[in-house]
Amino acid sequence: MRAERSRDSDCRVEAKLMVKQVHLINPMGNASGGSEWRTLRLFEELSKHCDVQLWSSSEPNPRFSDYPMRRIDLSSKSFPMTGTFIIVGVYHELGPWIDLARPTRTILIYNTSRLDQLQDRLHTLQCFGKPKVEIVFAARWLMDACSLSGPVEMSPIDLQRFAPAACERGDGPNGHFIIGRLSRDNSKKHHPDDVGIYRRLVSEGGSVKIMGGRCLAGELEDVPEVTLLPSGWQEPDVFLKSLDCFFYRTSEKYFEPSGRVVSEAMACGLPVVCHRRGGYSEYIEDRVDGFLFDTDVEAVEILRTLKADPALRKRVGQAARKKLEASLAPAVRDKFLRFYTQ
């Protein structure tokens, strides 16, 4: 009996030793950042399969205080030493600690359109005899643009959290139609021509809600039907479920690499109306599970049509939800989790 308990104990110790040690590394400073939420969702998924540690390379946002996170600090020797490093994003400096680390495997998630930063991070990571860096791309166009290869992974989201509202909004064809969007509260995240679209929609009986839109106060604060909220004013899933339609376009100064917010809206069963210039266009089938436009005239016409036709909104929103369920199906996510923990 004692021998059996000893063997059981030995098996548990052996199993624990075989568990992969994975480190997720990101600045974790922006509570509205797609990279931060991508990191946290990966943490939630990987925690079921391996020993995973969250690391912040800067002061983490208080919004993330519920997560077990360690701050990278070279002076106190607090940094990942070995195991699999998953570095989310190339927009942040790694710092001198990386020279002392000895990862057994390094994975870099490339989710911003900065080839210069990608090349710089690859150079840093491949020095000092470290293993060859594997790259995961947030969109296929990012892979094609840099002539490198690797898995293409849609930013994972929680489909139970981002789900259609329990009760449908019963506004009818002539009712109160609400379009909205969310993003960081930065002017480059908004196209200057969108102000005119919002004003036109309001003049025709609609209303607009923008979370991350305080930067537009100078142009829209005089319109009572337009609600401009700061970033993070409400949980994104709650905010999305208050809308009838999701509208998205960025300025010419910023190209949206993949647009996690668009996939969140689709998961919530919303019809999305997005400018064709964006990485999210890869997974939107125009007029089937979303709408893509090129001009302001097209955008206004799509919005008018959706306002007048609740059945169309419902049909396209349901197709959007099915697209996300297929794209983030358990079999798909298991494939990526096996990749990260192999």
Give me the domains of the chain, ranges plus CATH numbers. 18-153 (3.40.50), 177-327 (3.40.50.2000)
pLDDT at 6: 45
Distance between CA atoms of 221 and 224, rounded to whole angstroms? Answer: 7
**233: region left, alpha or beta (phi > 0 left; psi from -120 to 50 alpha):** alpha
Reported as a pLDDT band with limits 50, 70 and 90, residue 19 is low
- ∠ CA(88), CA(46), CA(68), 5° rounding? 75
Mean pLDDT of the chain: 92
Q: What's the full length of the chain, in residues?
A: 342
pLDDT band at 68 (very low <50, low <70, confident <90, very high): very high
Closest by CA position to 308, among listed 205, 224, 208: 205
pLDDT of residue 167: 72
Secondary element (H or E) of residue 275: strand 272-275
Pick the residue with more confidence: 47 or 4?
A: 47
Question: Both tokens of residue 174?
Answer: 């002539």
Residues 295-322 as b or e (16 or more Cβ within 10 Å = b): ebeebbebbeebbeebeebeebbebbbe
pLDDT confidence tier of residue 81, bands split at 50, 70 and 90:
very high
pLDDT at 339 exceeding the cut of 90: yes
End-to-end CA distance of the chain: 36
Nearest to 124 by CA among 98, 105, 104: 98
Q: Is the pLDDT of residue 242 over 90?
A: yes
- Which secondary-structure segment (H or E) carries 162? none
Reported pTM: 0.90
Q: Give per-residue pLDDT as tens, 164-207.
A: 998 766 554 445 899 999 999 999 999 999 999 999 999 999 99
Interval 15-32 mean pLDDT: 81
> Can you give the C-alpha Rg of the chain in angstroms?
22
Asked if residue 13 has pLDDT above 70, the reply is: no
The answer to whether residue 126 scores a pLDDT higher than 90 is: no
